[in-house]
Chain A
Amino acid sequence: MIHVSNLTKMYGARTAVDNLNFEVKKGEIVGFLGPNGAGKSTTMRMLTAFMPATAGTATVAGHDVFRDPIGVKRNIGYLPENPPVYLEMQVEDYLDFAARLHQVPRGQTKKAIDSALQKTQLGDVRKRLIGNLSKGYRQRVGLAQALGHNPQVLILDEPTVGLDPKQIIEIRELIKGLGGDHTVILSSHILPEVTATCQRIIIIAKGKIVAEDTMEQLTLRMKKGLIYSMQVKNPAGADAIRKVPGVNQVTIAGNKLVIEIAPGSGEIRDQIVSSAMQSGMGVLEFSAEKVSLEEIFLQLTTEESV
Chain B
Amino acid sequence: MKNIWTIARRDFRSYFMSPVAYLVIAGFTAIMGWMFYMSLAYYHQSSMQYQQMNMGKGASITDQIIRPVFGNMNVVFLLLVPFITMRLFAEERKNQTIQLLMTAPISMLDIVLGKFLSALFMILAMVGTTLFYPLILWMTGNPDFGPIFGSYVGTILMASCVLVIGMVYSAMSENQIIAGALSFATGLFFWLVSWAQSTAGGALGDILGYLSLISHYNNFSQGVINTSDLMYYLSFIFFGLFLTHRVLDSYRWR
Contacts and interface: CB of A to CB of B under 8 A. Distances in A.
B105 interface: yes
B245 to A, nearest CB: 15
A73 B110 CA distance: 15
A51 B252 contact: yes
A101 B253 contact: no
Nearest to B7: A101
Interface stretch (A77-85, A192-200, A209-217, A231-239): A77-85
A50 interface: yes
Contact of A101 (B17, B18, B104): B104
Contact of A97 (B10, B99, B107, B252): B10
A79 to B, nearest CB: 10
Contact of B14 (A48, A74, A84, A89): A89
B105 A103 contact: yes
A6 B247 CA distance: 29
B105 A80 contact: no
A187 B98 CA distance: 21
A246 B100 CA distance: 58
Given A73-B104, A101-B3, A88 B14 contact: yes
Interface string B189-201: 0000000000000
Given A51-B252, A88-B17, A89-B14, A101 B106 contact: yes
Pick from A52, A71, A80, A85 the residue with the most CB of B within 10 Å: A80
B104 A50 contact: no
A87 interface: yes
A66 to B, nearest CB: 11
Interface string B85-115: 0000000000111111111111100000000
Contact of A84 (B3, B95, B105, B106): B95
A145 interface: yes
Contact of A85 (B2, B3, B97, B107): B97
B49 interface: no
Contacts of B95: 84-87
Interface in B1-27: 2-3, 6-7, 10, 14, 17-18
Q: Say whether chain B's binding surface is mostly helix, strand, loop, or mixed.
A: helix
Contacts of B102: 50
B105 A74 contact: yes
A78 B103 CA distance: 7
A55 interface: no
Contact of B6 (A49, A76, A80, A100): A100
Interface in A51-102: 51-52, 70-71, 73-74, 76, 78, 80, 82, 84-89, 97-98, 100-102
A148 to B, nearest CB: 11
A145 B14 contact: no
A48 B105 CA distance: 10
Contacts of A82: 96
A71 B107 CA distance: 11
A76 B14 contact: no
A85 B10 CA distance: 13
B97 A101 contact: no
Contacts of B10: 86, 89, 97
Nearest to A48: B103
B14 A50 contact: no
Contact of A50 (B17, B99, B105): B99
A103 B42 CA distance: 56
A73 B17 contact: no
Contacts of A52: 252-253
A84 B17 contact: no
A50 B6 CA distance: 20
A233 to B, nearest CB: 61
Interface string B227-254: 0000000000000000000000000110
Interface string A37-48: 000000000001
Given A52-B252, A97-B10, 6 more contacts: A70-B105, A82-B96, A98-B100, A101-B104, A102-B104, A103-B3
Report the 7 A-B pairs with minimum CB-CB distance, sorted nearest first: A84-B100, A73-B105, A101-B104, A74-B105, A88-B17, A100-B6, A84-B97
Interface of A: 48-52, 70-71, 73-74, 76, 78, 80, 82, 84-89, 97-98, 100-103, 145
